[in-house]
Amino acid sequence: MRLMTLLCLTLIAFAANSVLGRAAVGNGLMDATGFGLLRLLSGAVMLLILCRARGLKIAQPRRMSLFGGASLTLYMVGFALAYKDLDAGLGALILFAVVQITMFAWGAFTNQRPGALQLMGAALALVGLAYVVWPRGGAAEVNLLAAALMAVSGLGWGIYSLLGRGVSVPLVSTALNFCWASVMILPVLLYVGGGTVITLQGAVLAVVSGAITSGLGYALWYSVLPQLPGPVAATVQLSVPVLAILGGALFLAEPVGLALVIGSALILGGIALVALAPKPKVVATS
């Protein structure tokens, strides 16, 4: 019960990031790359303060910090740049599809292959997500570069999630990942530009997103990951776009249609199949 509660809080935090990002960047209160940098910096500050308050030693193997920071940077940069030219719904589909593929592929590579029922559940959830977010009313023109950038972002988040399964102190690991990512993102911002559009309201939204729903949310995600089988961790994230759409409807007055209701039922059904399926046996290698 405790694990499910923490998992639900984590997924809500992920969805809240989308709502905060839409409110700030979508309304022109802050540019996307500047929002990403302030989000990382505020998350790093919050997490370091919490580590100090709890008397935790802020250290982990340098290799883990570098990989964690790099994958987090990859996610942040790809996400910010892709949404300059990509429909929000299609972007969510690409992002979470790549996350799921990355985590399932790694499970297969490490001989932790998902069972048939888990694969069916993942496919059902993916179909439901596609039904919810796919543009309607005619064919949509897809910017191939933006789609590739969002796929890179999904790869970054998938790697970041996989790395989280091996951390010993989630709060410290997340703090250091945010610190490294705050530095790693600077060359990208210098190259593509950013930080030119900022308002007080946009900055507040970025800080809330960074310090609370990103910093604390990602630390919570790292704490629950070791307790989740790989296929479950991959598939439950497909609920985030639906939660984000619901949050948008509640806080940003975005419309909710029949597609969301049907798609949500498919996604939740798929997640249930993955979560309740018998744990597949580890494949032995000779």
Contact 263, 243 (CB under 8 A): no
> What would the two tokens of residue 57 be?
């030693």
Neighbours of 200 (CB within 10 A): 9
Confidence of residue 81 (pLDDT cuts 50, 70, 90): confident
Count of other CB atoms within 10 angstroms of residue 257? 12
Break the chain into its structural domains and give their ranges: 1-276
The HSE-up count of residue 90 (CA atoms within 13 Å, CB side) is 18
Sequence-ordered list of residues with C-beta below 8 angstroms from that of 167, at least 6 positions apart, any chain: 60, 64, 173, 222, 226
Question: How far is it, in rounded angstroms, from Cα 167 to Cα 170?
Answer: 6
Q: Are 214 and 4 in contact (CB under 8 A)?
A: no
CB 93 within 8 A of CB 134: yes
235, 122 contact by CB (below 8 A): yes
Which amino acid type is present at position 15?
Answer: A
Q: pLDDT-derived band of residue 90, with 50, 70 and 90 as boundaries?
A: low
Tell me the C-alpha distance between 171 and 209, whole Å.
17
pLDDT, position 141: 56
Amino acid letter, residue 119: L
Winning range, highest mean pLDDT, from 14-23, 32-41, 74-83, 88-97: 32-41
**Terminal-to-terminal C-alpha distance of the chain:** 39
Q: Report how far Cα 160 is from the mean position of its chain's Cα atoms.
A: 9
Q: Which residues contact 138 (CB under 8 A, 6 or more apart)?
A: none
**Angstrom distance (rounded) from CA 154 to CA 160:** 10
CB 31 within 8 A of CB 194: yes
Higher pLDDT among residues 283 and 14, named by residue: 14
Tens of pLDDT along 59-68? Answer: 888 999 999 9
- Average pLDDT, whole number, for the chain? 82
Alpha carbons 147 and 151: distance in angstroms, whole number: 6
Pair 101, 141: CB distance under 8 Å: no
CA distance 47 to 103: 26
- Give the confidence band of 286 by pLDDT, cuts at 50, 70, 90: very low
Report pLDDT digits (tens) over 93-141. 778 778 878 887 787 777 666 778 878 888 888 888 777 667 666 555 5
Over residues 17-34, the pLDDT tens digits come to 878 887 887 788 888 888
